[in-house]
Structure formats: structure tokens, C-alpha cells
């Protein structure tokens, strides 16, 4: 089940997938819509086994230029959405004997980055929240892990390039090449998510997996 505030986009994506993929509208900041998405999934597929919290937005500007409302909106989606979806998915996951929650965090949650103060704060919160879920939900058979990608090719990174280059005076492609070798791909992130959702990761919970081409391993 693909759940997205852009239900038409989710429906197009579902139509491109093999199998019985479906779509449902869900604004992760609205409890009623989250509950509805969980119920629709359980009804369509006979239960819920895996929750992937992937909704996210970014702000790319100096901290003092962050608008109060946009800062609140970012936290509502990136942190509140993870909390809301996890909270309301737990009963359905537990009813089936357990399952897996996989949260998409970021290396931005492991350290600071220019222009990304709110985004860094939100992803750090997701990592800590994941750890709490792992300990609180273990006895219900529910595992919780996070994935922390570096820069991955896609629309979000594309939107940040101009702001980053203007603020740092460096070419974005040069920084990526020096720090992580290349851009990551959505498929590489998805492969890690699939592992964490599978029985191959049955003894893995409370962890955060870093996908960054060595970015966070290097001091220089």
C-alpha cells in the first residue's frame, strides 16, 4: 500500500509495480487520515506486517532565515508523521504477531550541515524515536530500525543544489564526489529497507544503518 498526500502520484506509482499494489491518500500529520490508511491496508491485505515511514520535507536556508511556520511544518511532517504513523500502526502490527517499522532518517541526523538546521534536528529526533520504539515494542514482536542515507539523487536534492552552492561557494557535484564518491540511489535505499523489513533481520532492532559512501567515516 502506497500512502501519500498526493494520491494521484501514489496511484501512478502503484500501477507501475508488480503484484497487487494499491494507493491511499494519507497526510501523515492528520491522525484521522493515518488511521484510515492503516485500516485500509489491513482490510486490503488481511493485516499489516511492515510500516515504512518515508514522508519528509526539507528547508534549505540559513537557520536565522527559517520561517516559524515552515519550521513547525517540517517538524510536523518529519517527526510528527513518524510518531503518528508508528503509534497508529502498532495495534495492527501486533495483531498479526509482530512486524517491522523502518524509518527513513538521514546522515543529517548524525551531524550538522549548513542550511539544514531544521532538517538535521528532525532526523536526529527520528533516530532517537526509533530506538525508543525498539525497546518499547520488542515484547510485542515489533522491530524498529532507521536508515540514514547521505545525498541521494532525486527531487529533494535537486531543490537544494542552488542554495548550497550559493551559501558555500562550492560546486555541489565536487562536494559530493569528494565526500561520498557519488550520489546514492533510491534503489540502494530500498534494498536496505527491504532487508530490515525481512526475516533476515529478525535480530536487528534499534539500529540505524548508514548509507553514505563513507561520508561520515572521514574527518577530512
Statement: residue 1 has pLDDT above 90:
yes
Show the domain range for 9. 1-46
Compute the average pLDDT of residues 166-183.
Answer: 93
For range 42-63, the mean pLDDT: 97
Predicted confidence at residue 6, as pLDDT, reads 97
**Cell triple for 169:** 561557494
State residue 198's pLDDT score: 98
Alpha-carbon distances of 178 from 7, 65, 155, 218, rounded to whole Å:
38, 28, 21, 10
Q: Determine the pLDDT at residue 186.
A: 96
Q: What value does the CA radius of gyration of the chain take, rounded to a whole number of Å? A: 18
Given pLDDT bands bounded at 50, 70 and 90, which one contains residue 124? Answer: very high
> Do residues 127 and 186 share a domain?
yes
Better pLDDT: 220 or 69:
69
Name the nearest CA neighbour of 34 among 95, 96, 97, 76. 76
Q: What is the pLDDT of residues 67-117, one digit of tens each?
A: 999 999 999 999 999 999 999 999 999 999 999 999 999 999 999 999 999
The phi, psi pair for 64, rounded to 5°, reads -70, -10
Q: Are residues 60 and 156 in the same domain?
A: yes
Same domain, 98 and 206: yes
pLDDT over 90 (residue 219):
no
Residues 3 and 106 in one domain: no
Residues 119 and 144 grouped into a single domain = yes
Do 109 and 7 have their domain in common? Answer: no
Compute the distance between CA of residue 89 and CA of residue 71 in angstroms, rounded to an integer. 26
* Shared-domain flag, residues 25 and 133: no
CATH number at residue 174: 3.40.50.720
Give me the number of domains the chain comprises. Answer: 2
Kindly state whether residues 17 and 83 are assigned to the same domain.
no
Q: Are residues 178 and 72 in the same domain?
A: yes
Answer yes or no: do 36 and 113 share one domain. Answer: no
Run of H or E including 24: strand 23-25
pLDDT value of residue 188: 98
Question: Are residue 75 and residue 35 in the same domain, yes or no?
Answer: no
Catalytic annotation present for 209:
no
Domain stop point among 10, 30, 46:
46
Output the pLDDT for position 168: 85
Q: Which of 119, 129, 172, 209 is catalytic?
A: 119
pLDDT grade for 18, boundaries at 50, 70 and 90: confident
- Residue 103 and residue 8 share a domain: no
Cell representation of residue 159: 531543490
Please state, in angstroms and rounded to a whole number, the distance separating the CA atoms of residues 29 and 88. 12
Q: How many angstroms separate the Cα of 106 from the Cα of each of 32, 36, 111, 159?
A: 27, 28, 10, 17
How far apart CA 41 and CA 48 sit, in angstroms, is: 7
Q: In this predicted model, what pLDDT tens digit does every residue of 127-172 receive, in sequence order?
A: 999 999 999 999 999 999 999 999 999 999 999 999 989 988 999 9
User: Rounded to an integer, what distance in angstroms lies between the CA atom of residue 94 and that of residue 72?
Assistant: 31
Amino acid at each position: 500500500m502506497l500512502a501519500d498526500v498526493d494520491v494521484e502520484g501514489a496511484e501512478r506509482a502503484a500501477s507501475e509495480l508488480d503484484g497487487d499494489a494499491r494507493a491511499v491518500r494519507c497526510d501523515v500529520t492528520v491522525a484521522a487520515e493515518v488511521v484510515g490508511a492503516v485500516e485500509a491496508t489491513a482490510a486490503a491485505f488481511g493485516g499489516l506486517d511492515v510500516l515504512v515511514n518515508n514522508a519528509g520535507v526539507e528547508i534549505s536556508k540559513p537557520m536565522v532565515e527559517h520561517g516559524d511556520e515552515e519550521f513547525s511544518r517540517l517538524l510536523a511532517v518529519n517527526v510528527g508523521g513518524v510518531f503518528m504513523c508508528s503509534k497508529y500502526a502498532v495495534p495492527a502490527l501486533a495483531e498479526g504477531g509482530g512486524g517491522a517499522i523502518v524509518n527513513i532518517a538521514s546522515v543529517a541526523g548524525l551531524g550538522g550541515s549548513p542550511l539544514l538546521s531544521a532538517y538535521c534536528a528532525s532526523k536526529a529526533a527520528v533516530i532517537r524515536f526509533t530506538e525508543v520504539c525498539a525497546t518499547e515494542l520488542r515484547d510485542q514482536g515489533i522491530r524498529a530500525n532507521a536508515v540514514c542515507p547521505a545525498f541521494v539523487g532525486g527531487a529533494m536534492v535537486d531543490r537544494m543544489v542552488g542554495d548550497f552552492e550559493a551559501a558555500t561557494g562550492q560546486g555541489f557535484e565536487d562536494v559530493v564526489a569528494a565526500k561520498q564518491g557519488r550520489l546514492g540511489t533510491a534503489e540502494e535505499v530500498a534494498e536496505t529497507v527491504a532487508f530490515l523489513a525481512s526475516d533476515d533481520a529478525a535480530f536487528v532492532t534499534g539500529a540505524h544503518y548508514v548509507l553514505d559512501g563513507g561520508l561520515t567515516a572521514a574527518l577530512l
